A = this chain, B = another copy of it.
Amino acid sequence: MMNLQTLVGTELPIIQAPMAGVQGSALTVAVSNAGGLGSLPGAMLTPDALRQELTAIRAQTTRPYNVNFFCHTQPAPDPAREAAWRAALAPYYAEFGIDPASIATAPARLPFSAAVADVLAEFEPPVVSFHFGLPSPDLLARVKAWGARVLSSATTVDEALWLQAHGVDAVIAQGLEAGGHRGMFLSDDLTTQVGTFALLPQLVRALHVPVIAAGGIADARGVAAALVLGAAGVQVGTAYLLCPEATTSAVHRAVLQSDAARHTALTNLFTGRPARGIVNRILRELGSISPLAPRFPLATSAVAPLRAKAEGLASGDFSPLWAGQNVAGCREVPAAVLTQELVRGVG
């Protein structure tokens, strides 16, 4: 099987996981210049902001980098569900003195689109990764036309086979340990989600394209173990959250360095899709998965003002504290140092 370095032209078998909301191009550049594949999360960027970030990356590195996008279908607003969800949140609005009528629609996570592809075409990024499947065949063809390597996440054997059949160059095996949004796209049944130790070898066995391991990998031993299991490379996210180049908030950084970070859960409260974050007050009180939460990404709006108020009081009680199940690799060191340490003694 082709290794990651050969596939994308990096020196090291490391992808820094794209993490929307906690990083921009500074982390991308730092990791790419250190020999890994730095990633820019594009899901929350307008086309103009994306252009700015890509310009910044190109100005600061000549190494390969990755740009990541979500591929969801934007749901129709559901006023009844939104109202039920806001009713469930009403006690919190009262606690913080928020007028529910004043709540604006939060900036949406937008799916990959022709407008985004137009911006990408100006830069021709060497690697483009997707989450929640793939964009439409015509949009995917545009990305492949400039020679980009295309990656996407699979959480089951079925999803991995689907991605391979639809033309990806490598599949990211996203084990259940991983922080942030589950990339699941063929099922919404959480019992289909499996740990890295089970998922990775099953994908390696089932696919002919390279498989990249993600989920629970925090240090050089984890990287080495994933390679032993047949991975072509690894994708590491959580470990980078404390790096100075990340834009992780102060409350998020504080919780990551506390014992509370040991307890994460999949939650749909913040966006409508299950994503792994540290258990905080809103998860404890409403349950980490609520049937009332609006469909992705519409759930974002209702919690946003609570998050803002709480963070203003230095509290992460209402924040999405994305993290994987293994925060042991989180350290306040430059991303270049972390990247190098991930491969110390490996290979």
Interface size counted on chain A using CB atoms at 8 A: 40
A 184-227 contacts with B by CB, 8 A: 191-192, 194-199, 201-202, 205, 215-219, 221-222, 224-226
Q: Give per-residue flags for A141-163: 1 if the beta carbon is below 8 A from chain B beta carbons, else 0.
A: 00000000000000011000000
CA distance A288 to B192 in the complex (A): 12
- Do A201 and B157 touch (CB < 8 A)? no
CA distance A325 to B176 in the complex (A): 11
Taking a contact as CB atoms closer than 8 A, the residue among B222, B265, B324 that contacts A229 in the complex is B222
- Do B191 and A288 touch (CB < 8 A)? yes
Taking a contact as CB atoms closer than 8 A, the residue among B156, B197, B219, B328 that contacts A222 in the complex is B197
Closest chain-B Cβ to A194's Cβ sits at a distance in Å of: 4
Does A245 interact with chain B (Cβ within 8 Å)? Answer: no
A 221-246 contacts with B by CB, 8 A: 221-222, 224-226, 228-230
The residue on B at minimum CB distance from A223 is B228
CA distance A217 to B202 in the complex (A): 11
Closest chain-B Cβ to A188's Cβ sits at a distance in Å of: 14
- Do B195 and A177 touch (CB < 8 A)? yes
Taking a contact as CB atoms closer than 8 A, the residue among B156, B215, B264 that contacts A197 in the complex is B215
Closest chain-B Cβ to A213's Cβ sits at a distance in Å of: 8
- Do B262 and A201 touch (CB < 8 A)? no
In this complex, which of A216, A224, A288, A328 has the most chain B Cβ atoms within 10 angstroms of its Cβ?
A216
